[in-house]
Amino acid sequence: MALGAWGRVALVAAGVVALDQATKALVRATVDEGERIAVFPGVEIVHTRNTGVAFGALSGGGAVVTFVVALALALLLVYFATHVRRPLFWLPTGMLLGGAIGNVIDRARGGGVTDFVQLPLGFPAFNVADMSITFGVLVLLYVLEREDAPARRR
């Protein structure tokens, strides 16, 4: 059975949420808050809590964070609904939706998001949901630019 565009969005989002929640649960169960474990040179696992959105933006925002996330998701879904036939548009939509849901689950559970990947140079700690949101934005830009490229060549 072939999945429609909405089914593919749901499948990608569910996969992101499952991987995100599994990795966060593993970190919460095995790494004490604040503990650092070296993985590769410059890359550490560190158990931190983030009360903002992706990469700590709007930290401590509470209702503002909830409103911004809800508005962004609503706009994304409305845009997707009006462009559902656009090739590959389901992929970034699922990635963005899954990443947002993964972090919302953490916020609802305990008021903050579990972050655990720490890169060098002071980059904020992040998680699978944040990665999915970041790559989702990049894939979205690619899909939108790819679709608009023929019109620009004329």
Q: Which of 20, 32, 115, 148 is catalytic?
A: 115
**Amino acid identity at 24:** K
The residues that bridge with 114 in the sheet, in sequence order, are 49
d(CA 81, CA 79): 5
| Active-site annotation holds for 130 | yes
End-to-end CA distance of the chain: 38
**Amino acid identity at 142:** Y
The residues that bridge with 36 in the sheet, in sequence order, are 46
Q: Which of 20, 32, 130, 148 is catalytic?
A: 130
Q: Are 95 and 139 in contact (CB under 8 A)?
A: yes
* DSSP annotation of 51: -
> Residue 13 corresponds to which tokens in the numbers above?
């989002």
DSSP E strands in the chain: the ranges are 36-40, 43-50, 113-118
Positions marked catalytic: 115, 130
